[in-house]
Amino acid sequence: MRKEIFLREAVDSFQNLKAVSGIYETEPVGGPDQDSYLNIVIELDTDLGARELLEHAQMLEKRANRKREIRWGPRTLDVDVLWVEGEKVNEPDLIVPHPRMKERAFVMIPLGELEPQFLEDWNDPKEGEVHRLSDW
């Protein structure tokens, strides 16, 4: 499965990897008809800031031939910076903490696997099915 290959290559590119959630499959909600997504959350022990992490993420997406043609459309790889300890960013192309992460079960469920405190005040929106496929 090509999506899983891109996902594994992306994870392998990060240094100081602290933890990786299981792999989850999510059916798309809204947007054009397309295959399901694979989702994971990783935790890093890094001195990189949010901007540097975003630049690395965009390089990974480019390497995976990501095309940004249709909003919520199919993609080979989508890497988001969710949260950086001690850092808040509010710029046109980067907001940290991620402003919609608590609206997305496909983010919160794997995130809660690694850092359960993020689930303390989370209410599952029940939008979109999230299925755990495997351990990392």
Cite the active site residues. 66, 75, 78, 80
Greater pLDDT, 29 or 108 = 108
User: Domain range holding 91?
Assistant: 2-134
Averaged pLDDT, 107-115:
95
Of the listed ranges 10-14, 68-72, 81-85, the least confidently predicted one is 68-72
Q: Looking at the 3D structure of the chain, how many domains does it have?
A: 1
Q: Which pTM was predicted? A: 0.85
Averaged pLDDT, 65-75:
71
CATH number, residue 13 = 3.30.70.560
Alpha helices in the chain (DSSP H): 2-12, 50-63, 105-114
**Nearest residue to 34 (alpha-carbon basis) of 83, 70, 73, 6:** 73
- Compute the C-alpha angle 103/104/108, nearest 5°: 105
- What does the DSSP assignment read for 37-105? EEE--EEE-----HHHHHHHHHHHHHHTT----STT---S-------BTTB-EEETTEEES-TTGGG-H
Partners of 26 in the β-ladder: 37, 130
**Mutual orientation of helices 2-12 and 50-63 as an angle, nearest 10°?**
140
Query: Does position 115 have pLDDT exceeding 90, yes or no?
Result: yes
84 within 8 A of 14, measured Cβ to Cβ: no
The label of the residue with tokens 């935790």 reads 43
